[in-house]
A and B are shown apart, each in its own frame.
Chain A
Amino acid sequence: MTLDLETQLKLADSRTKRLKAARDEAERLLEQKSRELYAANSELESIQRGLEDDIKLATHELSVSNQRLQKALDERSTFIGQMSHEVRTPLNAIVGLSEILLTTDLQETQLDYVDTMSSAARALIVLLNDMLDITKIEAGKLEIHLEPVETKRIHQNIISMFKIEAESKGLSLEMNLDSDMPNYIRLDKGRYKQIVNNLVSNALKNTHEGVIKLYVSYRRNAVSEGIGMLSVQVIDTGVGIPEDQLKKIFNAYEQLGSPDKGVGLGLAICSQLCSLMQGSISCESIVGEGSVFEFSLPAEEVNDAIIEPASNGSEVQSESAKISILVAEDNPTNQKVLSAQLAQLGLTAEIVDNGLLAIEKLQSQSYDLVLLDILMPVMDGEETLKTIRQSDDRIAGHYCVALTASSYQDQRNRLLGLGFDGFLSKPLGLTELADALEKVPASRVKIESSSITGEMQTIDIALFDPSYFKAQFGDAWEMVFAEIAPTFLEHSRKHLKQLKAAISDNKVDHINKISHSIKGGAASMGQTSLAEKLAELEANSDSPLAHDWIESIEAEWSEVESQLQIELDRIHQG
C-alpha cells in the first residue's frame, strides 16, 4: 500500500508529536519521582538528625552520671585507704608485741591467751588486706608485675608453708608438678602465691580427714612458641560446697552477705586476680566428698639461661649475718615493736625519732640499712630520702627502705620511684622483715659467703675444676698448675689488700688498676666468676657500691684460694 506524500507528511508529523508527547510525559513523571525521592530523603535525614541528637544527649547524660559515680567510687576508695591506715597502726602494735610476747616465758594459760590474741589480730590483718585488695582491684589500681618465677621452688615454698598445719590436722598434703613444666615462667609472683595460698588454706580449713593435692600443669601453645597455659588444681576431701552456694563463692558481695556460711573474701579476690591476669577460675564440688578448685593463667616461658642465680629463698635470716641498721620512726610503740623484732633476728638497730636526726647520724657513721618511716614530724621519710640522695657519695649510697602503713601498690611504686631501695608495709611481720633484710646488699654477701663456707666444710673433695687447665695444657696441666698457682695466690693476696685500701681511701685510679691486674691473673687461672666480679669493679671504680663489691670479691677469693691450695696440696702429695 503506497501513501501519497501529503499523507506521509501528515503521518510523520503525528508521529513526531506523539513521540514528543511521550517524552514530555516521561520527563514529567521523572521529575515527579525525583521530587518524591527528595522528600523521602529529607524526611530520612531529619529522622537521622533526631536520632543523632538523642544519642548525643544520652551519651552526655551517661558521661555525667559516670563521672559522678567515678567520683563517688574514688572517694570511697580513698576513705577505705585512709581507714585502713588508721587501723593498721594499732594492729601493728598488737601483732608485733603479741608475737614477741609469745617468745617470752609465759604460763600455759597466758600463752593460750596471747596465741589467740595473735591469731585474731592476724585474721584482722588478712581481712583488712582482703578488703583493700577488693577495693584496689575494683578501682583498677592493682597492677600486675610479671617476673621470672622458678616453678619448682615457688610451689615447694607454698607446700612447706602449709605442711605443719596439715600435719597437725592429720592431713596429707601432696604436690605434683607436671614433668613438662618449664623451670621458669613469667608470673606476678606475689599475686600468684596469693591465689594458690588462698586455695590451699581454704582446703585445709574445710578438710578434716584425707588428703589435699596441689596439681600444677603447663600446656604449651601449639602455635606460638614460648607461651602456654598454666593450670593449677587444688583438690580436697573436705566437706564440699552445696550446689546453690557454688555460684556465689566467687562474688565478694554475696560472701559478705552471709558471714556464717561465707568463706571470706579470699575466693572473690582469687577470681578477680585471675581475671586481671587474663585467666579464669572454677570450682566443682560434691557435698561430703570434697572440692576441686582449678584456675588457669596464660604464662610465658623464660629461658633458663637468662635467669640470674637465685638468692637464698625466704628463710628467716641466720644470726650470723650481722648488719648495721638505722631506723627513723616517731611512734614509740612502733619503735618498740621494730627493735624487738630485730632482736628476734639477732640484730640491733639505732633508732631515732625523725628524719633530721637520721641525717645527723649518717653524717658520722655508715649503715648497711636505713629504715625510714614515711609519716614523721620534723622531717618525713620522703624528705629524708631526698636529703640522703642529694648528699655526698658516702651518704647518698645508703640502702634505704620505706616503712609505711599504706600498702597500696601505687604508693609502693611511687616510693620506689622516688629512689627508695625497698618498701615495707606495716603491720610488719617477722617474715616480711627478714625477707627485706635478705635483700640488703651487704647482708646478702655475708649469707652467700657463709653458705659457701658451710659447703666447703661438709664436702671432703677439692672443688677445683681442672677442665680449664686440661683444655689449655693437656696432660702437662698439673705441672703447669703447680708452677703458676703459687705465684697467682701470692700476687693476688697482696693486690687484694691494696685494693681494699684503695677503696677505703676512695682512690679511683688505684681501684681501677689493681682490679684490672687481679682480673687478668684470675682469668689466666680459669677463675671466670672471680674475673667477672673484678671486671665489674674495674669498669665502675668510682661507684659507691665498691664497698659492697669488694666484700663479694673477697668472699669469692677466699673460696678460690682454698680450692687452689687444696689442689696444690693434692698435686704435691701425688
Chain B
Amino acid sequence: MKGIILSEFVEFLESSLGPDQAQIVIDKSGVGSGGAYSRVGHYDYQELIQLLTHAAAESEIEASELVNKFSQHLFMVFRRDYSVFFEGVDSAAHMLSQIDNHIHVEVKKLYPDAELPKFEYTNTGESLVLDYSSPRPLAAVAKALVMACIQYFGDKEKLVSSEISEDQCSAKFVIAVSSN
C-alpha cells in the first residue's frame, strides 16, 4: 500500500485524537513499521487495518465512523496536493470515472511498482455504475472515499446502492447522476 494512505491516517489520528492518543494507538497496534510512514514509501496494507481497529477500540468511536471521517480527510489532502486532477472536473461522477483512465495512469508513471485498485465504470446517463476490485480487502474504505467525493462536489449526486463482496475485495457502487 502507498505510504500516503498510512501517513495520512496517522496525521488524521493525531488531529482527531491528539498526538498522545495517536501514539498510544500506534504503540498498542504493534505495527511492524512502528508507524514511521513516509508518503513515498510502500507498506503492508494490514497495518492500516491494525491501526483502524486499535483506534476504534482506544477512542470508542465506531470503526465505520472513523473510516468515513478519514476518507473525508484523505479526499481533502488529494484536493490540496493533486489539484491538477481536479481541473475542469465539476461532478463526483466525472471525478470517479477518470480514476482508472487518467489518475492511476499518472500514478503508475511515478510509481511503477504501485498495486492500484481498479475502478471500472459504466455511465448510463442517469447513473454511474462503478465496479471496484482490489487485491486488498478495503472495499469499505473505497465506499467511504466515494461518499467523500460526492460530498465534496456538493451532494448533487447520490450513492443509491453499494454491494460489497464478502471478502471485501470488490464492490459495485451505483451513483445517481444529477440531471442538471
Contact = CB atoms under 8 A, between A and B. Distances in A.
A33 B22 CA distance: 30
B26 A22 contact: no
Interface stretch (A7-15, A101-109, A251-259, A462-470): A7-15
B177 to A, nearest CB: 40
Interface of A is mostly: helix
B62 interface: no
Interface string A1-32: 00100001001101101111111111001100
Contacts of B30: none
Contacts of B36: 17-22, 24-25
Contacts of A23: 38
Interface residues of A, number: 19
Interface in A17-63: 17-26, 29-30, 33
A39 to B, nearest CB: 14
B23 A26 contact: no
Interface string B30-50: 000011111111000000000
B115 interface: no
B20 A26 contact: no
A18 B40 contact: no
Nearest to A22: B36
B20 A11 contact: yes
Contacts, number: 47
B24 interface: yes
Contact of B41 (A11, A18, A19, A25): A25
Given A11-B20, A15-B19, A15-B23, A26 B41 contact: yes
Interface in B56-103: none
A304 B103 CA distance: 71
B27 interface: yes
Interface residues of B, number: 16
Contacts of A20: 36
A25 B35 contact: no
A22 B39 CA distance: 9
B162 interface: no
B38 A26 contact: yes
Nearest to A29: B40
Contacts of B35: 18, 22
A214 B157 CA distance: 77
Given A11-B20, A18-B34, A33 B40 contact: yes
B7 interface: yes
B23 A18 contact: yes
A33 B40 CA distance: 10
A20 B36 CA distance: 8
A3, A15, A24, A30 — most chain B CB neighbours (10 Å): A15
A325 B37 CA distance: 109
A25 B10 CA distance: 16
A11, A12, A20 — most chain B CB neighbours (10 Å): A11
B7 A22 contact: yes
Nearest to A27: B38
Contacts of A24: 36
Nearest to B6: A22
B57 to A, nearest CB: 13
Interface string A320-349: 000000000000000000000000000000
Nearest to A3: B20
A3, A17, A26 — most chain B CB neighbours (10 Å): A26
Contact of A26 (B19, B24, B40): B40
Given A11-B27, A18-B36, A21-B34, 8 more contacts: A12-B19, A14-B26, A14-B27, A15-B19, A18-B23, A18-B35, A26-B39, A29-B41
5 contacts: A8-B20, A15-B19, A15-B23, A22-B37, A26-B39
Interface of A: 3, 8, 11-12, 14-15, 17-26, 29-30, 33
Kindly list the 4 A-B residue pairs having the minimum CB-CB distance in the complex, ordered from nearest: A21-B36, A26-B38, A22-B36, A25-B38
